[in-house]
Structure 1
Amino acid sequence: MLSPGVQLGNRYRLDERIASGGMGDVWRGTDQVLGRTVAVKSLLPALLDDPGFAERFRGEARTMATINHPGVVDVYDFGSDQQIAFLVMEYVEGDALSATLSRVGRLTPARTMALLAQAAEALHAAHEKGIVHRDVKPGNLLVRPNGTLVLTDFGIARSDMVGQLTAAGSVLGTASYISPEQATGAVATPASDVYALGVVAYQCLAGRRPFEGDNPLEIAMKHVREAPRPLPGDIPPAVKAIVERALAKDPAHRWPSAAALAAVARQAKAALSQQARTGQAHPISAAPASPGAPVARAQVPTAPHQQPARPPAAAHQPRPPATGQARPPVVARQPQP
């Protein structure tokens, strides 16, 4: 049994358990050679008897080490000691997004779009390496005090290097965030991560997940068969459109890549920030990124900012008498998409 003060690999001292999961525990520790704080993830000893779990854990180390992106947690080392396999990672100062949502309930649309963009960029870096995370959820998104986000826990990722480590037709992932194709046993793709990130964004905006149920199977089947409950009415239409497209049942109807999702989320964040500074709403639109892709386009109504020029009066038309009162402004309507 691991406890504070235990040393692994004659190098890493465990200081405090900071998280527990189905595969093991995560500790805040100290690298006694380099004198830095690290995160140490230990695999539950009972799982070492299962070659599949042990190989997946080693695969996580190899997988994460191939990704060089500020939004993906760095891996420093991997080893085993006292029949305990462990992974040494960058220690991220901050809270899991799940803890933040438990504390505050909902996030603003602007904050949600900022986090969505960062998470999507991190996922795109993984996808470029041929890696599908398969378990995107608030607990695997760490947020630093300065607002930057880090994606972690690739323990069940599918990678071209590691291969498929589970039996055909088996389901991996967390039911509340699982894509419809994963729920039915199909192979997860980058579009599956886009869906899961859409669920995370939905939860940030609504303060609840789109589907609830009495057990994981019931929830997973709702992802397959049911439409999400509508987002709250105070969410800007463009933000709704971004999230709804990410949650499309058909992977072909989602954003074509995590990079595309990141781009529209950043655009939405910029428009919302501009609106907050000026008091005027600015249009947010998202055109399809590839031929034949469905359009998710919405505009935030804009306030009138100028009066159009009036045509000159005819020579025979008398000028109206001055009344000392300004004419009502002529409102220029924004063209609809």
Structure 2
Amino acid sequence: MLSPGVQLGNRYRLDERIASGGMGDVWRGTDQVLGRTVAVKSLLPALLDEPGFAERFRGEARTMATINHPGVVDVYDFGNDQHIAFLVMEYVEGDPLSATLSRVGRLTPARTMALVAQAADALHAAHVKGIVHRDVKPGNLLVRPNGTLVLTDFGIARSDLVGQLTAAGSVLGTASYISPEQATGQVATPASDVYALGVVAYQCLAGRRPFEGDNPLDIAMRHVRETPRPLPSDIPPQVRALVERALAKDPKERWPSAAALAGAARQLKTALSRQARAGGQAAPISAAPASPAPGRAQVPQPPRPVAAPHSPAPAHPQAVGHRPPPAHPQARPPAAPHRPTTVAPAAAGYPRGAATVPPGYAPQPGPSRPVPRRSRSGMVFLAIMLGALVLICSGVISYQLRDNIGAGTPDGVSVPTVTSDALRPDGRDDLVDTAYRRLDQPRMGGDVTTTSEGRQTR
């Protein structure tokens, strides 16, 4: 019985059991010669008693070592020690897809297509070398933290070199992912791996396997006779068609190769990712929609004249009870053609947004704009200055009048006397059409009067 600390081939130390399967256990070990971490798969002792099994397994290991693909686990060594056959492989940091599905249940169509494309590429690399995996399932698909996938566990793979060592009529593989031809004892082909990968894709999308049963034989017969339950309704039709074609009962109706399946899955993944990015962003509101919403103000397009910024935009002719939106207080004049013009929505039921004038748009002549008013602060400052000037002028005039009046008599009272050579009929003492008049005032200290002439005032 193997346990941590056991050494195989005097080189590989077993550190921790990381997986168990129908053919043996997988250990995380240490290559003590090269000082690196490896994965060691130990085979069950009972398998070595089967005639030809050890020879077939050794041939499979040699053939898999020739595959050079980033999606296929590297095979380093094969050995037999203490009646235990073991296979030394690359240790992959990551979780099996089965653990991810147990944790989250379902994957998105885009994520599923990405994993299917990588797994199909890895299978195609093996098929080119004449190897059929025959046990494609989520437990044998390791996903690294960066999202890349590695196909592992070619323990029961069949190659053309050692295919004759497979017992006639034997059934190998996991019943839930076995192809109909394998379930009936026929020889597995690359199309069998395509079917198994289709079952994996079905489980990723639906969160369940296409067939369940009480025992492996019952499940295997369901793959032969029954049609899988439809995928959930939220799966895109193109993805549904890809999986259904991979699950065809007749191998000739499936994808012609794993490479063809990989190409189709990759195209769908790209399309789904682009659609998700477009759906996650708010769609811009066009300046001239093909079917404008009723009651919504629209920006006129050339050659129509552009309305003045401070005038309300015309409502849709079919609007009922439409009220023109008020002009934006900070709307910019249309002289700048590359600045967006914001149009306020006319009704509360429509999404908010801004209609932008396309680049190169040349505004047409329209009604002249009113002269912009001065700012409130400027007008207040001007009013204060005018008021101060009036107060200063009135003070100066009042001061001069008081000074002149106070100098007329000793007691501060002066009585002006107006004389003229001749009086006019209306009582005025100035001559007709003259611009001057005479004014006689008594002087202090006597009866002498002083006559002065000045400009006529009214």
The TM-score range, normalised by the shorter chain, is 0.7 to 0.9
C-alpha separation between the residues in 1 aligned to 2:59 and 2:19?
21
SS at match of 1:66: coil
* Total equivalences in the alignment: 294
- Residue 155 (structure 2) aligns with: 155
Deviation at 1:323, TM superposition (A): 5.2
Normalised TM-score (structure 2): 0.61
- Residue 198 (structure 2) aligns with: 198
C-alpha separation between the residues in 1 aligned to 2:68 and 2:317?
61
- Residue 121 (structure 1) aligns with: 121
TM-align CA RMSD: 2.2
Deviation at 1:308, TM superposition (A): 7.5
C-alpha separation between the residues in 2 aligned to 1:144 and 1:117?
15
Q: Determine whether 1:105 maps to 2:105.
A: yes
- Residue 324 (structure 1) aligns with: 315
1:148-198 alpha-carbon deviations (Å, 9 max, x no partner): 111111111111112233222222111111111111111111111100000
C-alpha separation between the residues in 2 aligned to 1:156 and 1:165?
12
Question: Contact 2:138–2:200 at 8 Å: present in 1 too?
Answer: yes
SS at match of 2:88: strand
- Residue 216 (structure 2) aligns with: 216
Amino acid in the other structure paired with 1:325 = H
Amino acid in the other structure paired with 2:20 = S
- Residue 264 (structure 1) aligns with: 264
1:276-327 alpha-carbon deviations (Å, 9 max, x no partner): 111189xxxxxxxxxxxxxxxxxxxxxxx99789xxxxxxxxxxxx952399
User: Residues 326, 234 of structure 1: CA spacing in aligned structure 2 closer, same or farther, 3 A cutoff?
Assistant: farther
- Residue 302 (structure 1) aligns with: none
C-alpha separation between the residues in 1 aligned to 2:179 and 2:225?
11
Deviation at 1:63, TM superposition (A): 2.6
1:200-223 alpha-carbon deviations (Å, 9 max, x no partner): 000000000001111111111111
The within-5 A match list for 1:39-118 is 39-118=39-118
1:208-259 alpha-carbon deviations (Å, 9 max, x no partner): 0001111111111111111100000111111111111101111111111100
- Residue 324 (structure 2) aligns with: none
- Residue 284 (structure 1) aligns with: none
Amino acid in the other structure paired with 2:236 = P
C-alpha separation between the residues in 2 aligned to 1:203 and 1:87?
30
Q: Which has the higher contact order (CA 8 A, sep 6+)?
A: 1
- Residue 10 (structure 2) aligns with: 10
1:15-68 alpha-carbon deviations (Å, 9 max, x no partner): 001111121111000111111100001112232222333233223312311211
SS at match of 2:17: strand
Deviation at 1:86, TM superposition (A): 1.1
C-alpha separation between the residues in 2 aligned to 1:95 and 1:277?
28
C-alpha separation between the residues in 2 aligned to 1:159 and 1:56?
9
Q: Determine whether 1:23 maps to 2:27.
A: no
C-alpha separation between the residues in 2 aligned to 1:326 and 1:226?
61
Question: Contact 1:56–1:156 at 8 Å: present in 2 too?
Answer: no
Q: Determine whether 1:226 maps to 2:226.
A: yes
SS at match of 2:41: strand
Question: Contact 2:60–2:158 at 8 Å: present in 1 too?
Answer: no
Q: Determine whether 1:277 maps to 2:261.
A: no
Question: Contact 1:133–1:156 at 8 Å: present in 2 too?
Answer: yes
Amino acid in the other structure paired with 2:16 = E
Amino acid in the other structure paired with 1:269 = K
C-alpha separation between the residues in 1 aligned to 2:185 and 2:244?
23
Question: Contact 1:132–1:159 at 8 Å: present in 2 too?
Answer: yes
Normalised TM-score (structure 1): 0.83
Question: Contact 1:133–1:154 at 8 Å: present in 2 too?
Answer: yes
C-alpha separation between the residues in 1 aligned to 2:105 and 2:182?
28
C-alpha separation between the residues in 2 aligned to 1:307 and 1:226?
51
User: Residues 129, 326 of structure 1: CA spacing in aligned structure 2 closer, same or farther, 3 A cutoff?
Assistant: farther
C-alpha separation between the residues in 1 aligned to 2:279 and 2:187?
46
Amino acid in the other structure paired with 1:78 = F
Question: Contact 1:158–1:164 at 8 Å: present in 2 too?
Answer: no
- Residue 238 (structure 1) aligns with: 238
SS at match of 2:165: coil
Amino acid in the other structure paired with 1:107 = L
Question: Contact 1:206–1:232 at 8 Å: present in 2 too?
Answer: yes
Amino acid in the other structure paired with 2:315 = G
User: Residues 3, 325 of structure 1: CA spacing in aligned structure 2 closer, same or farther, 3 A cutoff?
Assistant: same
Question: Contact 1:117–1:262 at 8 Å: present in 2 too?
Answer: yes
SS at match of 1:214: coil
Amino acid in the other structure paired with 1:263 = G
C-alpha separation between the residues in 1 aligned to 2:59 and 2:118?
24
Larger mean CA deviation between 272-281 and 34-43 belongs to: 272-281
Amino acid in the other structure paired with 1:56 = R
User: Residues 308, 62 of structure 1: CA spacing in aligned structure 2 closer, same or farther, 3 A cutoff?
Assistant: farther
Higher gyration radius (CA): 2
C-alpha separation between the residues in 2 aligned to 1:251 and 1:173?
17
- Residue 447 (structure 2) aligns with: none
C-alpha separation between the residues in 1 aligned to 2:253 and 2:82?
49
Amino acid in the other structure paired with 2:29 = G
C-alpha separation between the residues in 2 aligned to 1:194 and 1:101?
20
Larger mean CA deviation between 61-70 and 107-116 belongs to: 61-70
- Residue 285 (structure 1) aligns with: none
Question: Contact 1:43–1:57 at 8 Å: present in 2 too?
Answer: no
SS at match of 1:219: helix
C-alpha separation between the residues in 2 aligned to 1:185 and 1:171?
6
% identity of equivalent residues: 88
User: Residues 242, 280 of structure 1: CA spacing in aligned structure 2 closer, same or farther, 3 A cutoff?
Assistant: farther
